[in-house]
Amino acid sequence: MNMRWMRFLVFLLLATLLNAGNVLNTISVTSLHIKPDLLLIALVFFSINIATTDAIAASFAIGFAADISSGTMGPCMIAFGVVGSFISQLQRVVVMKRMIHQATAIFVIALVAGGMVQLLSSFKTDEPMSNVYRMILGGAIYSAIAGPIVWMFLTTMTLWLGAQPRRHSRLSQR
């Protein structure tokens, strides 16, 4: 079964609108407005659960959507594309059945991708952002907490999107 890209784009549009809009601001915390990153959670989910070539294409598409929702074009697409491509290459080694594993993966990837986005953004703009490390860490923690809940929703959507869930087989079969 092939990925249904038009349906994926509709899903991506809705996730981008939620990420960029004020809906998630209702659940944001602190004065920094830290909220879960739905696009990052989707990046981790699709990079691990769909075919490698589809995962790489989906990673760059999700990064482009993150750029649209953030306002700075380029850094998210590059960072999400590279990180998603790396994760998709590890999908036969990494199994994400348990919620704690999902949350841990989302947390680590949020830190790595957030650091990469900030680094790439610093090359593009001269404006220093205040509290950037707190925002990256807070976003990573909040995304890791919300991640397993969003993961369950995305798992139910995989058949609608035409993504064939992997069977979670490891490299070494004995």
Q: Is 43 exposed, middle or buried (0-12, 13-18, 19+ CB in 10 A)?
A: buried
| Domain locations along the chain | 5-157
When the candidates are 1.10.357, 1.10.1760, 2.70.98, 1.10.150, the CATH number that belongs to 5-157 is 1.10.1760
Choose between 169 and 13: higher pLDDT.
13
User: What's the predicted TM-score (pTM) here?
Assistant: 0.85
Position 114 pLDDT exceeds 60: yes
pLDDT of residue 97: 78
15-22, Cβ contacts within 8 angstroms, sequence gap of 24 or more: 15/39, 15/42, 15/65, 16/65, 16/66, 16/68, 16/69, 19/65, 19/66, 19/69, 20/68, 20/69, 20/70
